[in-house]
Amino acid sequence: MTDTREGKVSVGVLACNKCGAPMYPDMEKGGFHCAYCGEFFSFALTDADFTPGMTFRHQPLQEIDGYLKLGHVAIMDKKALQPPPSVEWHMRRTRLVDKIREYDEAALNAINDKTYIDMNCPHCGKKLTPRLTDNIFTCPHCGQKFGDFGHLSTGDFDEALIVGRKYNFDGKCLPFNIKPSEARQAISALGRQNRNDFLDDDIEARAETELIAAYVPVQLADFRWKYEVSSDRGTFWFYQECLNWAWVCTLMFDWYLLDELAPWDYGKISIMKPAYLEGNVRLFASQNIGEWQAAIPNYVLQSKIPYWLRSGLGIWQCKLLQASHDLRKHKFAFLLLPIYFLDCKREAGENDRQIRVMVNGQTGKAAALILSPRERDIIRTAEPIKPYVFTKGGERTILSPPMPVKYVKSPFLHEKIRL
Ligand SMILES: [Zn+2]
Ligand SMILES: [Zn+2]
């Protein structure tokens, strides 16, 4: 609500012009919907409407005479086995999201502006105190919804609230489907299921006051890899793939944790219109993160392969020997994913344990990352409280189990083997 900073308040009411009931913004349908009489009107047209739609470029795995053709993962990459640079890495992972201010201090200050506006509800007359940064807010007394009049009619919004460069802000998103109250329930379930891991950090209590909604920029790609590992069951190669993998385009969030929120339902992609977001949602633009961008897929694999080999093949000890991977980006593949998160409790010292929690804003899946200086990272996840129903026949994240393979003959033909 930009006008209010100059002392003017121009609030628009979101009421149905047919029956007068409160109307609800529906990102998926791209307009306001009246739950009482079924009336619908579209959001204003904005630049985002001209964002080209995503073109998925899947390449099916080729089978020739019963062999798998793995030419796309033929070139070995020594860099893929390098661990993240430890000092910078530790700093990135243990800093609070809001402390990464050198990136866009103005936006983070604007977002954290806790100023409330004193006004009386134009509908019922009772006292109403929306935050300056709220787009659309609800009167707690009568349930009527309001928003900045200018924003509602034009679809414009306060660009100062985007963290990063406005022109790198994506025009597509997956809409939020989970309410903050449901995200809190998911965190509480995660907390109950893993009491011992959270010890001194009461994530349920923190979720009541510290929960933040955000849109995180990613780029979708089909990610496929072949690794050689030595293990308690011998040395072998395996092949694995993740279709529609969300390759994160910012260093503001922990990508290991974000990766745990998959699968995502890409059958629900819609146009991003910040003017019509309810409450306070943080918006992050894609960031130019240089060498990190290319390295993130490797770091994710290094950390997750041991888990996949354990759950898929019953392997407990493994060492990665050789690696190759193939990232095939889809076309117009940038979009924003809806999440809720709890940041660390505070900036940590060298020896402090830290806990971060995220909830998938579409499905309700919750995940926590426990960082401790002397032990391995611990990741805990909790499935959605009410099962999410994926779009029938739609695009989604698909992860295959690891498949042991052996090279047979040219061209790149491999056979599946049993360990
Ligand atoms: Zn109506
Ligand atoms: Zn009211």
Q: CA 285, CA 45: separation in Å to the nearest integer? A: 21
- Is the Cβ–Cβ distance between 390 and 265 less than 8 Å? yes
Ligand 2 center–CA 144 separation, angstroms: 6
Residue 94 pLDDT > 90: no
Are the CB atoms for 134 and 1 separated by under 8 Å?
yes
Return d(Cα 250, Cα 334) in angstroms, integer. Answer: 12
Sequence spans of domains, the chain: 1-42+115-157, 50-104+164-416
Mean pLDDT (whole number) for 378-392? 94
Share of the chain above pLDDT 90, in %: 62
Q: How confident is the model at residue 99 (pLDDT cuts 50, 70, 90)?
A: low
Lowest mean pLDDT among 31-40, 87-96, 285-294: 87-96
How far, in Å, is the centroid of ligand 2 from the Cα of 150? Answer: 20
What span, in angstroms and rounded, lies between the C-alpha atoms of 279 and 147? 10
Choose between 373 and 195: higher pLDDT: 195
- Using CA atoms, how far residue 399 sits from 220, 240, 280, 383, in Å, is 14, 8, 33, 16
3-class SS of residue 168:
helix
* SS3 at position 103: helix
Residue 179 burial class via C-beta count within 10 angstroms: exposed 0-12, middle 13-18, buried 19 and up: middle
Residue in the block written with tokens 């204003």? 44
Separation of alpha carbons 211 and 183, rounded Å: 9
* Closest ligand to the CA of 33: 1
What's the 73 CA to ligand 2 centre distance in angstroms?
60
Structure confidence at residue 350 as a pLDDT band (50, 70, 90): low
Q: How far is the CA of 192 from the centre of ligand 2 (A)?
A: 37
- Per-residue pLDDT, averaged over 142-151, amounts to 85
Compute, in angstroms, the gap from residue 64 CA to the centroid of ligand 1. 59
Confidence check: pLDDT of 5 > 70: no
Cβ-count burial of 352 within 10 angstroms (0-12 exposed, 13-18 middle, 19+ buried)?
middle
If one counts every other C-beta atom within 10 angstroms of the C-beta of residue 347, the result is 12
pLDDT for residue 319 = 96
**In terms of Cα–Cα distance, which of 268, 50, 35 is closest to 155?**
50
**pLDDT at 101 (0 to 100):** 62
Q: Taking 60 as the threshold, does the pLDDT of residue 1 lie above it?
A: no
- pLDDT, average across residues 216-224: 98
Distance 125 CA to ligand 2 centre (A): 6
Taking residues 41-66, report their average pLDDT.
93
Per residue in 238-268, pLDDT tens? 999 999 999 999 988 888 999 999 999 999 9
How far, in Å, from the CA of 244 to the mean position of ligand 1?
39
Task: Please tell me the distance between residue 390's alpha carbon and the centre of ligand 1 in angstroms.
Answer: 29
Residue 311: phi, psi to the nearest 5?
-75, -30
pLDDT at 327: 96
Cα–Cα dist 53/73, whole Å = 28
What is the spatial distance between Cα 264 and Cα 218, in angstroms, rounded to a whole number?
12
15 C-alpha vs ligand 2 centroid, how far in Å?
A: 12
pLDDT at 41 over 70: yes
Q: 6 CB contacts (<8 Å, ≥6 apart)?
A: none
* Residue 7: predicted pLDDT: 47
